[in-house]
Homo-oligomer: A and B are copies of this chain.
Amino acid sequence: MDQINHQRYYDCDDCLFKTISCQYIQKEEFEKLRSKSVQLRYKKGEVILKQGAKSTHFLFLRKGIIKFNYEDENGKNLILSINKAPALIGGANLVNAEFNLFSVCAIEECEGCTIDVALLTRIALGNTLYLFKMLQFITDIFRSSIFNFISLAHKQVNGRIADILIFLSQNIYLSNSFVLSLSRQEFAEFAGCSKENVIHTLRKFHNEGLITLEGKKIVLNDTERLLKISKHG
């Protein structure tokens, strides 16, 4: 068991989290964090943090793409936000709640390390600039959720799907051409509509030449017009 947990996939000296941390805190303090930290790999689909569970640790996501997922009483899922590394996740609860408000799942292979919340809090409370930096990291999820919130709230499906395509292109894959890591079902959970509607709409965009669709591969041909659709609603 210990053997597995201590497996190391990468060198901490190469890690952004160390670089950032050491701008604020002493190396010895970072070493304390590190000594309590464990490197982990997640396969596509794996749950990283479980909604409702007690949040005992953060995860510094060094590589990969994740979704923030909310499951309601009826078992219906809703994707609040999609984020890529680097990110500090789980922190949605630092200020707010003892238990995870959402689940976090890998939608691409992910790599990162756990960070002890209690210890990080203790260190951060002794160093306010560091605390500030950590909070910036942590509240990112809220900001990106609100982007999606606004899109959902007063656009119809055309606009929302255009929004999501642009978001994925510009914020996640950083290219006009990408292989979607989401299933159609997940896309629907992000867009707040049925999967059939996603399929119909993507097909329509394809037929109109806005995008090129080949299964999971999507190419945005006309970002201009997508932006117009997004703007118009």
Which A residues contact B (CB, under 8 angstroms)?
A: 70, 72-74, 76, 78, 80, 95-96, 101, 124-126, 128-129, 131-132, 135-136, 139, 142-143, 145-146, 148-150, 152-154, 192, 231-233
Give the contacting residue for A74; candidates B73, B95, B126, B231; CB below 8 A.
B231
A70 and B101 alpha carbons, distance in the complex (Å): 24
Q: How far is the CB of A226 from chain B (nearest CB, A)?
A: 15
A154 to B70 CA separation, bound complex (whole angstroms): 11
A69 to chain B minimum Cβ distance, whole angstroms, is 11
A contact patch SS:
helix
A95 contacts across to B, CB distance below 8 A: 132, 135-136, 139
The distance in angstroms between the C-alpha atoms of A41 and B210, with both chains bound, is 51
Separation in Å of the A70 CB from the closest CB of chain B?
Answer: 6
Q: Provide the bound-state CA to CA distance between A152 and B148, in Å.
A: 11
Closest to A189 in B: B154
Task: For the complex, give the distance between the alpha carbons of A136 and B95 in Å.
Answer: 6
As for how many copies of this chain the complex holds, the number is: 2
Asked if A139 and B96 sit within 8 Å, CB to CB, the answer is yes
Q: Bound state CA distance, A70 and B152, in angstroms?
A: 13
Complex-state Cα separation, A15 to B133, whole angstroms: 31
Q: A128-B131, A135-B95 are known contacts. Are A233 and B74 too (CB-CB below 8 A)?
A: yes
How far, in angstroms, from A124 to B131 measured CA to CA in the complex?
Answer: 11
**A152 and B150 contacting across the interface, CB-CB below 8 Å:** no
Subset of 5 A-B contacts with CB under 8 Å: A74-B232, A78-B153, A96-B136, A125-B132, A146-B149
Q: A72-B154, A192-B153, A192-B154 are in contact. Are A125 and B129 (CB under 8 A)?
A: yes
Nearest B residue to A127, CB-CB: B128
Does the CB pair A154–B233 fall under 8 Å? no
How far, in Å, is A193 (CB) from chain B's closest CB? 9
